[in-house]
Chains A and B, each alone.
Chain A
């Protein structure tokens, strides 16, 4: 209505070009686009610098002004980072550094959490979303409470408990928490299960379908996207996790994870910035790949938790 009346006014008084609403809006939008592109470039700069630094020979890193593009280009850093040849110049001690082993360790933790964590969370989420039992609301509040609870108060006692159980320097302290479900996953899956129409269950029950079978054969396949988001989040979280592996597995041990081994690459005795960048790039690459493949789902997932929460 307003736009119609303003265009009617425009027809009467014919303002100068720059005063017209459409032109002003166009200029404004052009500025917004330029600004957004600028911000995007700033945000991408660290990734750009990471990759180009990793592809430069070591001595080209210490130039001022720095080179924007690697010339000459070398894959030496990636080779060293992957094979663990870190100490060639300062070979003072035989130090173990084996990325393939660390990859295996990381994958053990991720797979353990996918199998136990996501499955358990989906079970609990289903109970909270669909099954009726006394105390269910209270149970849901504990999930919300755990969601907002600062984890800081748990690290010391959990460490003490696990060390009393003689589980330090094993993968179990990083997998056992999954047995009980993760609050964020339970919350997310519950919200998602609630959106599935209830008629489906009623008819399945009439046909004699058991609750467990319904959960496994109907509910989970229907919520494939939500479960996939949880799998990805599990992968990303444990791939990037740092504190727990450091506490329970230790730097420089045979159980170290890929991210934790960064500490070894940063060891002043071995530090070569090019190798550090190559190693970091290799750690980010799988996350980047997963992100680009599934970013639609992931962003929907974030929105889903935040808006409904």
Chain B
């Protein structure tokens, strides 16, 4: 609406301002929420992290004390390293396996709906209750996983999955892979959304399977891949529930399950050191923001976005 038009038709102005007022009214909960539930707590968290805030309520100002304490805390480095290693192995594995599965499903598959349902089921149902089953599946002596390894003729099949520091990480990686269905479903939809004319054009140019994958499929899929990469990294850095249930909150064996979030929980709510926990939270937050920023930067170069269509009006 230009000023001229508004001046000519004054009733439209009132109509629009009424709409605008309603807009604020409808969005009011979220507007309040941004301040009350995001910005204020975040600022408050900065303040808390500068104090020796305890659950018991004593909170003397310690300045950067909590942050310098991090450098002297071996468990901080341990949990950060564990979580990073887990992310570095787990995320690429999930993306690659997710892509392969989606690629296989995107053919003339009989019963596609059934497969999709079964593959997606684990990601939706994963929770504390499933973690208990996984603990039982990977039991050293009576677990079915070791039994299957035995049937397959694997030597030394009594693997102490949950009780040795070397094996526990594989356990979490395998469990993470179990919930790959979320990625599969997204990739499958992405693959189905690629116009078949692109492949036909590639056929005309004499492209083989590999060429089509590299020059058509991957560029078309790059926005979805980017989205899953970002969300999987953020969630894998914040692994908590599974590790808590499997290790009964202890981070056992020998801190092999002590992921960053679990350590933070132990400091803040187990030990009651809320100030130090807030500092831990800020460090993880900043790490994740940096990773996201780098990814977004890289996405400008690597991700192929189709020219924006009618979304401009949004």
Chain A residues engaging chain B, CB cutoff 8 angstroms: 1-2, 29, 32-33, 35-36, 39-40, 43-47, 49-50, 53, 61-66, 120, 123-124, 126-128, 131-134, 136-137, 139-140, 142-143, 146, 148-161, 177, 179-181, 186, 194, 211-212, 215, 236, 239-240, 242-243, 246-247, 259-260, 262-263, 265-266, 273, 276-277, 279-281, 283-284, 287-288, 291-292, 295, 298-299, 302-303, 306-307, 309
Contact = CB atoms under 8 A, between A and B. Distances in A.
Given A29-B109, A46-B137, A273-B136, 12 more contacts: A33-B109, A40-B115, A46-B133, A63-B142, A127-B27, A133-B24, A150-B238, A152-B264, A157-B48, A157-B278, A246-B269, A262-B245
A240 B128 contact: yes
Contacts of B129: 240, 259, 262, 279-281, 283-284
Contacts of A63: 142
B29 A179 contact: yes
Given A291-B124, A302-B185, A148 B37 contact: no
Interface in B101-151: 101, 104-105, 107-110, 115-122, 124-130, 132-134, 136-137, 141-142, 144, 147, 150
B137 A150 contact: no
Given A1-B203, A242-B127, A307-B190, A66 B147 contact: yes
Contacts of A158: 37, 41
Contacts of A283: 127-129
A48 to B, nearest CB: 9
B50 interface: no
Interface in B54-106: 101, 104-105
Interface stretch (B3-11, B160-168, B210-218, B284-292): B284-292
A266 B288 contact: no
A288 B27 CA distance: 34
A19 to B, nearest CB: 17
Of B32, B115, B134, B230, chain A has the most CB atoms within 10 Å of the CB of B115
B120 A1 contact: no
A222 to B, nearest CB: 17
Contact of A242 (B108, B128, B231): B128
A277 B264 contact: no
Contacts of A263: 245, 248-249
A167 to B, nearest CB: 14
Contacts of A291: 121, 124-125
Provide the main secondary structure of the chain B interface. helix
Interface size class, chain B: 35 or more
A156 B48 contact: yes
A186 B28 CA distance: 13
Contacts of B248: 263, 266
A238 to B, nearest CB: 11
B189 A2 contact: no
A36 B121 CA distance: 15
Nearest to B120: A299
A284 B130 contact: yes
Given A1-B203, A131-B22, A133-B23, A154 B38 contact: yes
A228 B252 CA distance: 40
A137 B122 CA distance: 36
Interface in B173-204: 178, 181-182, 185-186, 189-190, 193, 203-204
A181 B109 CA distance: 40
A32 B241 contact: no
A277 to B, nearest CB: 7
A266 B27 contact: no
Given A180-B37, A273-B136, A306-B186, A136 B115 contact: no
B31 interface: yes
Nearest to A156: B278
A306 B282 CA distance: 28
A77 to B, nearest CB: 13
Contacts of A36: 104-105, 109, 115
A61 B20 CA distance: 65
5 contacts: A53-B133, A132-B19, A156-B48, A180-B33, A247-B269
Nearest to A120: B29
A154 to B, nearest CB: 5
B154 interface: no
B34 interface: yes
Contacts of B269: 159, 246-247
B314 A194 contact: yes
A299 B53 contact: no
B25 to A, nearest CB: 8
B133 A50 contact: yes
B147 A131 contact: no
Contact of A123 (B29, B134, B224): B29
Contact of B33 (A32, A153, A181): A181
Contacts of A136: 23, 27
Contact of A139 (B31, B117, B281, B285): B31
A150 B181 CA distance: 22
A211 B142 CA distance: 62
Given A61-B142, A65-B147, A150-B237, A180 B104 contact: no
Given A124-B26, A157-B278, A132 B124 contact: no
A195 to B, nearest CB: 11
A294 to B, nearest CB: 10
Contact of A161 (B21, B44, B190, B224): B44
Contacts of A64: 141-142, 147
Nearest to A247: B269
A288 B182 contact: no
A33 to B, nearest CB: 7
A146 B288 contact: no
